Amino acid sequence: MDNLYDPRFGDADVAACLSEEVRLQSMLDVEAALAESQAALDLIPATAAAVIRACAQEILYAPEEIARDAIRDGNLAIPLVRQLTREVAARDGDAARYVHWGATSQDIIDTGLVLQLDAAVPLIVDRLGLAAAAAADLARRHIDVVMSGRTWLQQATPITFGLKAAGWLEALARARHRLASAWSDARVVQFGGATGTLATMAPHGEAVADALAARLGLRRPGMPWHTHRDRLVHVAATLGIAAGSCGKIARDVALLAQTEIAEAHEAPAGSRPSPEPQSAGRGGGSSTMPHKRNPVSASVAIAASVRAPSLVATMLQAMPQEHERGLGTWQAEWQTLPDLVMCCAGGVRATAEMLRDLEIDPARMRANVDATGGLVMAEAVSMALAHRIGKPAAHDLIESACRRAATEQRTLQDVLLADAHVTAQLTPDEIARALTPEHYLGSARTIVQRVLDRYDQRLLERYSPRA
């Protein structure tokens, strides 16, 4: 039975690229392309290449046998090549000579992995684009919605929800660009033979390597990279960073969705018609508590941000691989990198859906700003006073006014109007104006507009969330 958690915490499309079936098939695709490349260079008979290709595509392999033999052989390629050779031999004894010619197991395993990732990573890049477009949409629609900025989980000074969403947008757009760029560097063929010299095909090794890369649509690197894993690790790191930014956004949403704050909510499950179950909203119910509306998508994104750092660390930790083939270090990558890709894909997808379906409550946002009786405007009044009496004196004056307001359960305005030190500097109108959140938003609108201008159009063209 497949892992039941994958669908929920992952992304079904990405999972499909990373399945065991596709893993084996990708390795077979490499073997077939290798034979074809060699045939095109007249190194092996064209008929042999044709039989190898046919067997690589048509034969049902025995995964149990491969798994069992891999225990002894130490990797999947050895038993897989053994089965392929057996099949080829059954059709054309001569062709069997040319299976896996010049390659080492790691060439097949690594290049197969690159093929799998070349399907999976662009999907995640696109999901990041969708998430960014959804954030852009939120920023545009709510550009002037006033809410509390919060530091240390305390109300601080007012911001707009547009500003918060613009921050999400920028982080997602950077994550998208960074992942795409790292993957572009990493989609290189692995082909070097046992120790990277391509000796078995001399003097044609270089030509075969070029042809193989071209046939698979991959780039050819400067040299084989069996024990230099930095390109893959960089991809892993950019995935981890994407998961981290999604975790930040999801944590914001989860905090806004708290019962007592209630400024944003995930759309409840089923609130949106969708052909896919994963797209139908995940605001989940409880098995026992009928009133709950749980931030399920946020939990998926946060879980990914908790898991990804360690999976990235394993990839980094496995880098010091011995000589021309790692001993236990390469092997440590085998489960880790697919797990990381799945985990980050799940976090990114959940974030994209969460943002697409996010319900904002501007009235509640405004009410929460008011709930402290003006305390959240303390800095604004302090700054207004500071223009007259300097920052330190203003800070002290307002700090004590805030304390009085809190202790005596009065609004800050009441306290200030009753304070001769304050009224000596500010008129009641000035005080009222200083206490109005809408007047204390600084550059928020300018910033949001600039960010939208930078990203919005390009993203919306490709990833319109409201099509």
381 to 410, contacts with a copy of itself by CB under 8 A? 382-383, 386, 389-392, 395-396, 398-399, 401-402, 405-406
Please give the Cα distance from 432 to 440 (Å, whole number). 12
Instruction: Answer yes or no whether residue 8 interacts with a copy of itself by CB under 8 A.
Output: yes
Using CA of residue 264, residue 269, residue 274, residue 276, what is the dihedral sign? positive
- Most distant pair of Cα atoms in the chain: their distance: 103
**Residue recorded with tokens 């997808």:** 349
- 50 or 389, CB closer to a copy of itself? 389
Instruction: Answer yes or no whether residue 363 interacts with a copy of itself by CB under 8 A.
Output: no
Instruction: Answer yes or no whether residue 41 interacts with a copy of itself by CB under 8 A.
Output: no
Q: Which candidate in 8, 82, 215, 325 is catalytic? A: 325
Under a CB-based contact definition with an 8 Å cutoff, are residues 285 and 294 in contact?
A: yes
Please pick, from the candidates 45, 122, 285, 362, the single residue that binds a copy of itself as defined by CB under 8 A.
285
Instruction: Answer yes or no whether residue 59 interacts with a copy of itself by CB under 8 A.
Output: no
Give whole-number Cα distances, 307 to 97, 188, 241, 303, 455, in Å.
45, 27, 12, 6, 29
Minimal distance, residue 251 CB to a copy of itself, in Å:
4
Please pick, from the candidates 25, 140, 200, 458, the single residue that binds a copy of itself as defined by CB under 8 A.
200
- 53 or 150, CB closer to a copy of itself? 150
Minimal distance, residue 122 CB to a copy of itself, in Å:
20
Instruction: Answer yes or no whether residue 436 interacts with a copy of itself by CB under 8 A.
Output: no
DSSP for residue 146: E
Instruction: Answer yes or no whether residue 273 interacts with a copy of itself by CB under 8 A.
Output: no
Please give the Cα distance from 415 to 417 (Å, whole number). 6
Minimal distance, residue 411 CB to a copy of itself, in Å:
12
Orientation angle between helical segments 161-186 and 444-463, nearest 10 degrees: 50
Instruction: Answer yes or no whether residue 60 interacts with a copy of itself by CB under 8 A.
Output: no
Instruction: Answer yes or no whether residue 288 interacts with a copy of itself by CB under 8 A.
Output: yes
**Residues numbered 126-145 forming contacts with a copy of itself, rule: CB under 8 A:** none
Read off the amino acid at residue 7. Answer: P
Orientation angle between helical segments 329-356 and 105-141, nearest 10 degrees: 20
Residues β-bridged to residue 283? 268
**Residue recorded with tokens 């920023």:** 139
Per-position x/- string for 203-232, each x denoting binding to a copy of itself as judged by CB under 8 A, each - no binding? x-xx---------------xx-x-xxxxx-
- 291 or 467, CB closer to a copy of itself? 291
Instruction: Answer yes or no whether residue 324 interacts with a copy of itself by CB under 8 A.
Output: yes
Stretches 130-138, 233-241, 415-423, 424-432: which one binds a copy of itself (CB under 8 A)? 233-241
- 101 or 463, CB closer to a copy of itself? 101
Instruction: Answer yes or no whether residue 45 interacts with a copy of itself by CB under 8 A.
Output: no
Contacts of 322 (CB under 8 A, 6+ apart): 227, 329
Please pick, from the candidates 83, 238, 351, 413, the single residue that binds a copy of itself as defined by CB under 8 A.
238
Alpha carbon of residue 252 to chain centroid: 16
Please give the Cα distance from 441 to 230 (Å, whole number). 44
Q: Which two tokens stand for residue 133?
A: 């477009």
**Residues numbered 68-87 forming contacts with a copy of itself, rule: CB under 8 A:** 68-74, 76-78, 81, 85
Stretches 32-40, 110-118, 125-133, 320-328: which one binds a copy of itself (CB under 8 A)? 320-328
Q: Which candidate in 271, 286, 400, 443 is catalytic? A: 286
Instruction: Answer yes or no whether residue 35 interacts with a copy of itself by CB under 8 A.
Output: no
286 a catalytic residue: yes
Please give the Cα distance from 365 to 329 (Å, whole number). 51
Instruction: Answer yes or no whether residue 329 interacts with a copy of itself by CB under 8 A.
Output: yes
Minimal distance, residue 374 CB to a copy of itself, in Å:
9
Instruction: Answer yes or no whether residue 370 interacts with a copy of itself by CB under 8 A.
Output: no
**Strand pairing category for 359-360 and 264-265:** antiparallel
Please pick, from the candidates 273, 291, 409, 466, the single residue that binds a copy of itself as defined by CB under 8 A.
291
Minimal distance, residue 278 CB to a copy of itself, in Å:
5
Under DSSP, is residue 267 helix (H, G, I), strand (E, B) or coil?
A: coil
Under a CB-based contact definition with an 8 Å cutoff, are residues 81 and 99 in contact?
A: yes
Instruction: Answer yes or no whether residue 201 interacts with a copy of itself by CB under 8 A.
Output: yes
466 a catalytic residue: no
Instruction: Answer yes or no whether residue 362 interacts with a copy of itself by CB under 8 A.
Output: no
Please give the Cα distance from 153 to 199 (Å, whole number). 63
Start-to-end C-alpha separation, the chain:
37
Please give the Cα distance from 328 to 339 (Å, whole number). 18
Please give the Cα distance from 56 to 33 (Å, whole number). 10
Instruction: Answer yes or no whether residue 379 interacts with a copy of itself by CB under 8 A.
Output: yes
Instruction: Answer yes or no whether residue 148 interacts with a copy of itself by CB under 8 A.
Output: yes
Minimal distance, residue 114 CB to a copy of itself, in Å:
17
Give whole-number Cα distances, 189 to 21, 106, 233, in Å.
21, 11, 16
Minimal distance, residue 42 CB to a copy of itself, in Å:
14
Please give the Cα distance from 374 to 355 (Å, whole number). 30
* Count of beta carbons in the 10 Å neighbourhood of residue 62: 12
Residues β-bridged to residue 148? 158
Question: Which amino acids are annotated catalytic?
Answer: 286, 325
